[in-house]
Amino acid sequence: MLAARILAWIGPISAAVLMPRGAAPYLPPNNTRNHGSAAASATAPTATAGGIDKIESRCPQLRVRYVEEQAGGGAAAAEDYPVNRMRNLAIDGVGTSHYVMVDVDLWPREGLYEHLHATAAGQAAEAFMSRWNAFVVPAFEKKANLSQCKGGSEPLSAELPPSESANACWQEVAGAVPKMCAFDPTTAEAALNDISDLAGCLLAHQCSIFYPRVPASHGSTNYTAWTRQSALRRIPCFQSSRYEPYLIVPKGPGTPRFDERFTGYGKNKIAWTSHLRYLGFRFLVLPGAFLVHCPHPPSAAKQAWQQGSAAARNGTQVQKQSGAEHSTAERYPWLGPGAANVTHAHAMNSLYKVLLADFESEYGSTDREGVTDLCRDDAPDLALDMSFYE
């Protein structure tokens, strides 16, 4: 995925990559290879040093920082996946005034780098000069279905961990991802390269807005308004405290880092977005810019989260696998000394609540003037009005 990403983004890239335990002897000094400044950042799952070397040798705009996988395996390793540490390392490699924080499974539309530069130098020049503006890049997702596989019938978007047969099918579908999503000028099956490509994908029901199963995650972007806007549009309020858009933010001490206590899956980016909101950042939706999420098998971290959430709903416990070497109190100190037998999902949800209380205590409530507050009306309506495209 990282190699395909580079084809779609001609500007500098700062990436953080998780390496298998024991790969340290093969890593460069300071766990980084420096190839210039960086404007985009990404986190990538476990990789091999050899594979990254091949990418780097062809891509002088890429700067890679490495994180070595910790001991242990199974659910414990998935829950300890250092997602926010990796994001911070990628940010450390940025040498430009702004960066767009995306995960490695999000593809930019073709020409997004040039489009953003033109926007920042043109109609939005004044907005990009402010350290208090965060720019929303709307996200969509490419649909895929296990019915594409022989004998498959389960939807790829299922919220339950996939069965063994579904896992095999996932691998089959994942093999087609570069053709479905990655910009590749050598193939006719290129990505969604512009608005017209996106419109065609939406009208054919092969694409949708990102994560429609959880409207709170991206509903505040207001996708129907985005189809009609030709200039920056400010989001007046958040429909949910769980809003987690993909953002372009200034690089500097005024922009908070990601809280590294969040590991594995769940609440890690939501907490960062909430921090920006409490600080008083304004959220402006960019016209003409978009990202596309490409289908892939559920990560081990997400499956561990789902198992923990299901256990909490059913009143059962999840058996911890090897690698959970620390007590609950040591691993999740914000739960207090008496905490025991809690799921990782519960711990991350609790940490998010602690953070919101800390933000309110430090910065004041979000109903103060100039701050993006929560909306007072109903939940977001994610029905995308397609008449604009038709």
Q: Which of 3-17, 179-193, 246-260, 278-292 has the lowest mean pLDDT?
A: 179-193
Q: Which residues pair with 292 in a beta bridge?
A: 107, 140
Residue 280 lies in a domain: yes
pLDDT score of 218 = 92
pLDDT score of 71 = 56
pLDDT score of 131 = 95
Tell me the CATH number at 131: 3.90.550
Torsion of CA 200, 175, 68, 78, to 10 degrees: 80
| Beta carbons of 44 and 219 less than 8 angstroms apart | no
Range of the domain at 276: 1-18+50-150+164-293
pLDDT score of 325 = 43
Residue 243 lies in a domain: yes
Q: Is the dihedral of CA 259, 260, 265, 269 positive or negative?
A: positive
Please say if the pLDDT value at position 264 is more than 70: yes
List the structure tokens of 105: 């499974």
Task: Note the pLDDT tens digit of each residue in 376-389.
Answer: 765 455 555 545 44
24 by DSSP, 3-state: which? Answer: helix
Please say if the pLDDT value at position 22 is more than 50: yes
Between the alpha carbon of residue 151 and those of residues 136, 144, 157, 311, 362, the distances in Å are 40, 15, 17, 30, 55
Residue 322 lies in a domain: no
Instruction: Give the Cα separation of 386 and 203 in Å (integer).
Output: 7
19 by DSSP, 3-state: which? Answer: strand
Q: Is 36 left (phi over 0), alpha (psi -120 to 50) or beta?
A: left
| Beta carbons of 226 and 157 less than 8 angstroms apart | no
Please say if the pLDDT value at position 161 is more than 60: no
CB atoms within 10 A of CB 390: 7
How big is the chain by its Cα radius of gyration, in Å? 21
Q: What is the rounded average pLDDT of the residues 35-55?
A: 51
Residue 310 lies in a domain: no
Residue 287 lies in a domain: yes
| Beta carbons of 231 and 244 less than 8 angstroms apart | no
Considering only residues 165 and 255, tell me which one the structure prediction assigns the higher pLDDT. 255
CB atoms within 10 A of CB 45: 17
Residue 187 lies in a domain: yes
* Interaxial angle between packed helices 268-279 and 344-363, expressed in degrees from 0 to 180 and rounded to the nearest 10: 10
Cα three-residue angle 118-95-90, rounded to 5 degrees: 105
pLDDT score of 183 = 38
pLDDT score of 389 = 43
Mean pLDDT over each residue of the chain, to the nearest integer: 75
Predicted TM-score (pTM) of the model is 0.79
- CB contact set of 331 (below 8 Å; sequence gap of 6+): 324, 347
How many domains does one find in the chain? 1
Considering only residues 7 and 343, tell me which one the structure prediction assigns the higher pLDDT. 343
Please say if the pLDDT value at position 91 is more than 50: yes
Q: Is 30 left (phi over 0), alpha (psi -120 to 50) or beta?
A: left
* Helix or strand (DSSP H, E) at 331: helix 328-331
Where would I find the beta strands (DSSP E) of the chain? 13-19, 32-33, 40-44, 62-68, 98-101, 106-108, 133-137, 139-142, 207-209, 233-234, 237-238, 246-250, 282-285, 291-293, 373-374
Per cent of the chain over pLDDT 70 is 62
Residue 170 lies in a domain: yes
Instruction: Give the Cα separation of 199 and 125 in Å (integer).
Output: 28
Residue 327 main-chain phi, psi, to 5 deg: -70, 165
Please say if the pLDDT value at position 1 is more than 90: no
Residue 169 lies in a domain: yes
Q: Are strands 98-101 and 282-285 parallel, antiparallel or unpaired?
A: unpaired
pLDDT score of 81 = 84
